[in-house]
Amino acid sequence: MNIDRNKTWEGLFVSLLKILSTKYGFSYLLPISIGPDDKNSTWNVIHINQPQLGLDNRDYYLNS
């Protein structure tokens, strides 16, 4: 990762989240995506989904 010392903390944090999401499939606390608006497809809107903070399914823990 190329870090520019002039970037703000927020910019570095967003870059880190992007790398974790795209490279490693890591879903951060609030999954956020951008997509077309349901009522007007020429507009893009931000979709914020609920976090998945629960445990994995039962078999994952019993069949290890």
Q: What tens digit of pLDDT does each residue of 2-52 get?
A: 556 556 777 777 777 778 777 776 666 677 778 899 999 899 988 878 776
Q: Is 16 contained in some domain?
A: yes
Q: Is 1 contained in some domain?
A: no
Q: Is 52 contained in some domain?
A: yes
Q: Is 2 contained in some domain?
A: no
Q: Report the residue count for the chain.
A: 64
Entry pTM = 0.38
Number of domains in the chain: 1
Q: Is 22 contained in some domain?
A: yes
Beta bridge partners of 45: 35
* Cβ count near 27 (within 10 Å): 13
Confidence (pLDDT) at 17: 75
Residue with tokens 């989904």: 49
Q: Is 49 contained in some domain?
A: yes
Candidates 34, 19, 35, 28; CA nearest to 52 is 28
Q: Is 4 contained in some domain?
A: no
Confidence (pLDDT) at 26: 65
* Helix, coil or strand: residue 53: coil
Confidence (pLDDT) at 16: 77
Task: Give the domain extent around 29.
Answer: 9-62
Tell whether the model's pLDDT for residue 61 goes beyond 70. Answer: yes
